Amino acid sequence: MLRTFLGLVVVAALVFGTAYLLTPYSGVARAIVWIEADVEDYRRFPARPIEAPAEPFRFRRAPTPPELGTVTVGGVGRDLGRFLGSTGTTAFIVIRDDAVLYERYFNGDTRSSIQTSFSVAKSYLSALVGIASDEGLLNLDDPITEHIPELLDRDRRFSRITIEDLISMASGLRYEENSLPWGDDAQTYYSADLRELALEDTEIVEPPGRRWHYNNYNPLLIGMVLERATGQSVASYLQEKVWQPLGAEFDASWSLDSEESGFEKMESGLNARAIDFAKLGVVYRNGGEWEGREIVPRSWVERSTGAQADPQYGYWWWVEPDGSFSARGNHGQFLYVDPARSLVMARFGTTDGDADWPSVFADVAARLGP
């Protein structure tokens, strides 16, 4: 029995060692070695830089209101700082109008610490679709095969799927959230060639527009559409249209599937500082404007943050009945916008801490009043 056990250990070590050597090239190998996604993944993937402008914008500071000393969680009042520190939070920012009311960092992070977005990146991708549409580079009702005609070689029904179907999460494409290392979650996160994955592994299972279903193949296809429509990488387009116009204080990056493929991880992988992430929230709170300049078309802001294929979902934004909306990512990454109260909140962390963050944001907003 001991010999059998030692043999199994040797086999496991060989499998793990081989997988480790293959991580630059294989999504399955990455899933075996890296296992579940975590906030340190930005260190593992190659990335495309996004440069900050020479003259950054800095929010003015305002005194922290005493109302932000506590928060109600599960019907119980808690000290806000202690609650944040105990839930794996690394950054928490509250901005009202154009002033920072609260900005604190926890669990070893500082203002200059890199936060990774996970699916918060989808909301940035949504903004880029709106900008490209306004520039006449694409239309929401374009069949995706108008931009990716090679999909027709596999299934003529791809011509029925529009750009809007993808960004509303109603594409009709298969997506199964099964386990590592072969599930769709793992493949769309870890694949070393996400373009090839999107072209060869997408499968139509129902007509588009029929049902909302969260699907990480959708942003991969949109990324390919944007590349071809704009003639540049998605990170470069973000730098030109959003990052530099917003006066980001720090350089950012967008993780890539691999050096060889060089395709941004569209479903996640935008890496930046919390204060710069918050700026997109301010733009959306202002209906697309930043310092008197339209960054994202107002019509797109209104449309993308209203319910579409699902009552709680717009175009890669989560929406609430009270008019607030949020970008959300794995492990509790949030960008929350309450236009009625002129509030933006950003929360990043190593874990969601089992907290109901939308309720936390709503409580903070209520404490600050109208």
341-370 pLDDT tens trace: 999 999 999 999 999 999 999 999 999 988
Mean per-residue pLDDT over the chain, rounded: 93
Q: Which of the four pLDDT bands, split at 50, 70 and 90, describes residue 19?
A: low
Judge whether residue 99 has pLDDT over 60: yes
Q: Go through 267-285 and write b for each residue having 16 or more CB atoms within 10 A of its CB, e for each that does not.
A: bbbbbbbbbbbbbbbbbbb
Distance CA 152, CA 159 (A): 7
The torsion defined by the Cα of 158, 163, 168 and 170, in degrees rounded to 10, comes to -10
Contacts of 239 (CB under 8 A, 6+ apart): 50, 51
- Tell me the mean pLDDT in the region 327-348: 97
Distance of alpha carbon 287 from alpha carbon 114, whole angstroms? 27
Q: How far apart are CA 175 and CA 212, in angstroms?
A: 11
pLDDT at 20 over 60: no
The answer to whether the CB of 246 falls within 8 A of the CB of 283 is: yes
Average pLDDT over residues 146-173: 98
Q: Which residue has the tokens 């970008």?
A: 327
Say what the pLDDT of residue 370 is.
83
This prediction has a pTM of 0.94
Per-residue pLDDT band for 10 (boundaries 50, 70, 90) equals very low
Confidence of residue 92 (pLDDT cuts 50, 70, 90): very high
Instruction: Provide the residue count of the chain.
Output: 370
What H or E segment, with its residue span, contains residue 274? helix 274-285
Is pLDDT of 171 > 70? yes
pLDDT of residue 11: 42
Q: How far apart are CA 113 and CA 31, in angstroms?
A: 26
In percent, the amount of the chain with pLDDT more than 70 equals 93
Note whether 253 and 156 are within 8 A (CB): no
The pair of structure tokens assigned to 114 is 């890199």
Q: Mean of the pLDDT values across residues 159-163?
A: 98
Q: Is the pLDDT of residue 16 over 70?
A: no
